[in-house]
């Protein structure tokens, strides 16, 4: 190769490396726990060898992890892009700012983001109201019609709940515009909020099995899930979790976050069941990562383990993060629940769900 072209290529590689390093130091990547926060983390029984561990060990033995199969990996990435072509998601718009505070409702923003108003409290869970759900500025982009809410259309929150720090659950641009009296998250996730300038007195960081009494008789328990964390190449420096929220009137909502099917669900159901509403992931599954994301059959099994009266399947219909058709999760879970004793909640994005109404039904809008 001509030395001149070799020099050009070398300079280009160096420039790209410098730009990438500068980009990864932008605020949106957050921060790794340190100081007093790290000291608390190190006392957790779930933190070993410098990182958090799942309760149940599993091997990542997917084909894309084996030698000589990079073509499969690039094929999956290609399908991510192809899957969003010509998709236009229907939605409606509920005015959240001017809601009657006596209404008990849930409004889904697509994927795993939603707003709950119950017994006078306003709660947002994993709000991602940006067009992109990754550190890559142009990928993956939300389906057309799926991103209809802006952070300015969310009222002041009593509780902002974050299940873990992945980009499709913790969105820098969104949380920076929200107002919340208290932020509830697993251990270590508070490092991101501190890095972003949030008032530390508002942060409640919880380890698995921690139980806290909130305002006005609400209670929350953090439970394990089989997943992982990290906003860059460094993994598992913060914890991932699920939450059981109990209101003053003893209405129980299971906030599922992400995670593979495991014995945690049965444990929670036996101790706290029946659960009034179980919000569980149902989408972005694949045989290649079956240990950390549930397929629809497992979502139904988890709902049964939890002894859920109502099942709200999320983690679908906004971003293409796997190879299945965007509406396959909803088609499958609808069929699976036909003969089950569970009230299936499948609202359109933005549609008001009367969370205590066991008779409300939804069209097959997908």
The per-residue pLDDT for range 215-228, each reduced to its tens digit, is 889 999 999 999 99
- Residue 84 confidence (pLDDT): 52
- Is 199 within the bounds of a domain? yes
Q: Show the domain range for 341.
A: 105-354
- Residue 364 confidence (pLDDT): 97
Mean pLDDT check: name the lowest of 60-64, 104-108, 134-138, 177-181: 60-64
- Residue 261 confidence (pLDDT): 97
- Is 281 within the bounds of a domain? yes
Question: How is the beta sheet containing 308-314 ordered, strand by strand?
Answer: 211-213, 219-223, 242-246, 252-255, 275-281, 308-314, 343-344
Rounded to an integer, the average pLDDT of 35-46 is 97
Nearest CA to 107 among 141, 144, 148?
148
- Residue 177, pLDDT > 70, answer yes
In whole angstroms, how large is the CA radius of gyration of the chain? 21
- Is 94 within the bounds of a domain? no
- Residue 68 confidence (pLDDT): 39
**Per-residue model confidence as pLDDT tens digits over 193-212:** 999 999 999 999 999 999 99
- Is 191 in contact with 34 (CB distance < 8 Å)? yes
- Is 14 within the bounds of a domain? no
Mean pLDDT estimate for the chain: 90
- Residue 362, pLDDT > 70, answer yes
- Is 169 within the bounds of a domain? yes
State the Cα–Cα distance between residues 145 and 89, nearest whole angstrom.
5
- Residue 86 confidence (pLDDT): 74
- Residue 138 confidence (pLDDT): 78
**Per-residue model confidence as pLDDT tens digits over 276-304:** 999 999 999 999 999 999 999 999 999 99
Rounded to an integer, the average pLDDT of 123-128 is 98
Place of tokens 């989408």: 283
- Residue 61 confidence (pLDDT): 43
- Residue 26 confidence (pLDDT): 85
> Residue 295 has which token pair?
């397929």
Angle formed at CA 28 by CA 159 and CA 110, multiple of 5 degrees = 55
3-state secondary structure (DSSP) of residue 365: coil
Rounded to an integer, the average pLDDT of 243-257 is 98
- Is 120 within the bounds of a domain? yes
Task: Describe the crossing of helices 328-336 and 296-306 by its angle, rounded to 10 degrees.
Answer: 50
- Residue 256 confidence (pLDDT): 97
- Residue 15 confidence (pLDDT): 56
DSSP one-letter string for 97-154: TT--TT--EEEE-STT-EEEEETTEEEEES---SSB-SSSTTSSBPPBTS----GGGS
**Per-residue model confidence as pLDDT tens digits over 58-84:** 654 443 333 333 345 445 555 555 545
**Main-chain dihedrals φ then ψ at residue 234, nearest 5 degrees:** -90, 120
- Is 310 within the bounds of a domain? yes
- Residue 131, pLDDT > 70, answer yes
- Residue 4 confidence (pLDDT): 59
- Residue 169, pLDDT > 50, answer yes
* Element housing 222 (H / E): strand 219-223
Mean pLDDT check: name the lowest of 10-24, 148-162, 255-269, 322-336: 10-24
State the Cα–Cα distance between residues 340 and 333, nearest whole angstrom.
11
| pTM for the predicted model, two decimal places | 0.91
- State the distance between the two ends of the chain, measured CA to CA, in whole angstroms: 54
**Per-residue model confidence as pLDDT tens digits over 152-163:** 999 999 999 999
> Residue 92 has which token pair?
């409606």
- Residue 135, pLDDT > 80, answer yes
- Is 113 within the bounds of a domain? yes
Instruction: Please report, rounded to a whole number, the percentage of residues in the chain having pLDDT higher than 70.
Output: 86
**Main-chain dihedrals φ then ψ at residue 85, nearest 5 degrees:** -65, 135
Nearest CA to 113 among 70, 157, 156, 160?
160
Instruction: Please report, rounded to a whole number, the percentage of residues in the chain having pLDDT higher than 90.
Output: 80
- Residue 60 confidence (pLDDT): 45
Per the structure, the count of domains in the chain is 1
Angle formed at CA 212 by CA 206 and CA 216, multiple of 5 degrees = 135
Rounded to an integer, the average pLDDT of 257-274 is 97
**Per-residue model confidence as pLDDT tens digits over 317-347:** 999 999 999 999 999 999 999 999 999 999 9
- Residue 65 confidence (pLDDT): 33
Handedness of CA 344, 284, 78, 109 (dihedral sign): positive
**What CATH number is given to the structural domain containing 326?**
3.60.15.10
- Residue 58 confidence (pLDDT): 67
């Amino acid at each position: 190769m001509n030395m001149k072209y070799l020099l050009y290529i070398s300079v280009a590689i160096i420039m790209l490396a410098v730009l990438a390093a500068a980009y990864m130091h932008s605020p949106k990547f957050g921060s790794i726990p340190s100081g007093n926060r790290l000291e608390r983390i190190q006392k957790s029984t779930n933190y070993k060898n410098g990182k958090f561990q799942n309760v149940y060990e599993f091997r990542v033995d997917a084909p894309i992890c084996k030698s000589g199969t990079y073509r499969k990996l690039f094929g999956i990435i290609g399908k991510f892009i192809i899957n969003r072509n010509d998709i236009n998601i229907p939605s409606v718009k509920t005015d959240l700012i001017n809601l009657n505070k006596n209404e008990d409702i849930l409004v889904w923003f697509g994927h795993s983001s939603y707003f709950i108003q119950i017994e006078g409290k306003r709660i947002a869970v994993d709000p991602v109201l940006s067009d992109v759900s990754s550190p890559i500025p142009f990928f993956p982009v939300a389906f057309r019609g799926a991103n209809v809410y802006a952070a300015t259309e969310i009222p002041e929150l009593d509780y902002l709940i974050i299940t873990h720090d992945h980009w499709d659950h913790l969105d820098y641009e969104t949380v920076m515009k929200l107002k919340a009296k208290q932020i509830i998250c697993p251990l270590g996730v508070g490092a991101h909020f501190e890095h972003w300038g949030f008032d530390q007195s508002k942060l409640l960081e919880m380890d698995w099995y921690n139980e806290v009494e909130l305002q006005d008789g609400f209670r929350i328990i953090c439970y394990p899930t089989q997943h992982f964390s990290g906003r860059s190449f460094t993994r598992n420096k913060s914890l991932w979790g699920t939450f059981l929220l109990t209101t003053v009137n003893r209405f129980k909502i299971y906030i599922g976050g992400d995670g593979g099917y495991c014995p945690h669900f049965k444990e929670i159901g036996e101790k706290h069941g029946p659960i009034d509403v179980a919000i569980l992931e149902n989408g972005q599954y694949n045989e290649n990562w079956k240990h950390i994301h549930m397929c629809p059959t497992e979502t139904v099994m988890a709902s049964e383990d939890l002894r859920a009266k109502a099942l709200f399947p999320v983690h679908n219909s906004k971003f293409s993060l796997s190879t299945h058709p965007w509406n396959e999760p909803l088609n499958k879970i609808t069929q699976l629940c036909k003969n089950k004793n569970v009230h299936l909640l499948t609202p359109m994005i933005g549609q008001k769900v009367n969370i205590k109404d066991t008779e409300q039904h939804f069209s097959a809008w997908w």
